Amino acid sequence: MASHFLTRDGSTWMPEYLTAIDGMTCIGCGRCFKVCSREVMHLHGIDESGEILGVCDGEDDDFDGELSRTIMVVDHAGRCIGCGACARVCPKNCQTHVAVDKIVA
Ligand code: SF4
Ligand code: SF4
């Protein structure tokens, strides 16, 4: 895998992929989802103990279990292009990004 890429003007570009979101810190604000063009993460409901109940589909979410709060979950990490947009809008700094040259295939 190439360790860096080029932008249109020939500058080097190092993609930094989103690999994880800390569910203890995430407030489920949805900002990262809104700026991501790749559907890498989705809002999920969790119960009091932190167990994931299911994905929030924006309608009348009906979970098996009592919803405590919502968090963002990286459920399609392979779609990420490492643009970094999600990191710039996160108010809680709870995302982990890994540079392409540090990713083990
Ligand atoms: S780095 Fe870019 S592509 Fe990857 S999850 Fe964040 S916004 Fe989406
Ligand atoms: S922007 Fe940050 S706090 Fe908000 S949902 Fe995404 S990861 Fe969670």
Q: Please tell me the predicted confidence (pLDDT) of residue 16.
A: 97
Distance 20 CA to ligand 1 centre (A): 11
Q: What is the pLDDT of residue 82?
A: 97
- The CATH code that applies to domain 5-102 is 3.30.70
Q: What is the pTM of this model?
A: 0.91
Q: Given the DSSP bridges, would you call strands 95-99 and 16-21 parallel, antiparallel or unpaired?
A: antiparallel
Closest C-alpha to ligand 2, atom 3? 26
Does 64 score more than 90 pLDDT? no
Which pLDDT score, from 0 to 100, does residue 1 have? 63
Instruction: Please compute the mean of the pLDDT values over residues 17-40 and round it to a whole number.
Output: 98
Among 3-7, 16-20, 70-74, the range scoring the smallest mean pLDDT is 3-7
In this prediction, residue 104 carries a pLDDT of 73
CB-CB neighbours of 99 under 10 Å: 13
Judged by DSSP in three states, 89 sits in: helix
Query: Cα separation of 39 and 80, whole Å?
Result: 8
DSSP state of 12: E
State the average pLDDT for the chain: 93
